[in-house]
Amino acid sequence: MATTPKFTIPGLTTAEGEKLAGILQERLNALNDLQLTLKHVHWNVVGPHFIAVHEMIDPHVDEVRDMVDETAERIATLGTSPLGTPGAIVAGRSWEDYSLGRATTNEHLGALDEVYVNLLEDHRKAQAAVSDLDPVTEDMIIGQQRQLELFHWFVRAHLESTGGKLSTEGATSEKKAAEAAHASADVTE
């Protein structure tokens, strides 16, 4: 369980450190969830382009694990205890669990597109929320965002037509994005 910090980094009040740690705890929950979801996709992807997607995901899992560690250590530096247990992830998240099991590459990539859209929107909100408080925390979030956006582009490249249209365009949920990506693959393959 989180405790009220007795100290924080020099130049911040304890209340500011606690606020930053709270924002980062939400990012820690999201990043922990993402690394588990990506590994789940890695194990459950099938069909055409299997090996390309299977092997594309693993290096990013490692990058996200590094982000998890970096975020947790920043929380600790701010004087608060980072919560990285499965229960903390579930209790602290505002999204539903990833719902696809064994599915085609396009279905998983379609669903991951939606996962990344939501994750990146929340990362941008966190970056804006910390921008006036602490440039070190902001810099960390911006660096993570850069890597997450790059991988999102990798995902979207599989879902994009030569004309630039995403097969997941207009999808409002992970399941609808997976269905749209699957239907698009049926047309092109």
- In this prediction, residue 146 carries a pLDDT of 98
Q: Please determine, for residue 144, whether its predicted confidence score (pLDDT) is greater than 60.
A: yes
Mean pLDDT along residues 95-108: 94
37-96: pLDDT as tens digits: 999 999 999 998 999 999 999 999 999 999 999 999 999 999 999 999 999 999 988 888
Length of the chain: 189
Q: What is the pLDDT of residues 155-178, one digit of tens each?
A: 999 999 999 999 999 998 889 999
* Interatomic CA distance for residues 98 and 114, integer angstroms: 11
∠ at Cα 68 (65, 69), nearest 5°? 90
Global pTM? Answer: 0.93
User: Which domains does the chain show, CATH number per domain?
Assistant: 14-188 (1.20.1260.10)
The C-alpha atoms of residue 99 and residue 146 are separated, in whole angstroms, by 26
Residue 52: partners with Cβ closer than 8 Å, 6 or more residues away: 105
Q: What is the DSSP letter of 166?
A: B
Q: Whole-number mean pLDDT of the chain?
A: 93
> What count of other Cβ atoms lies within 10 Å of the Cβ of residue 71?
25
Q: What is the pLDDT of residues 5-41, one digit of tens each?
A: 788 999 999 999 999 999 999 999 999 999 999 999 9
| 122-65-30 Cα angle (round to 5) | 25
Determine the 3-state secondary structure of 70 from DSSP: helix
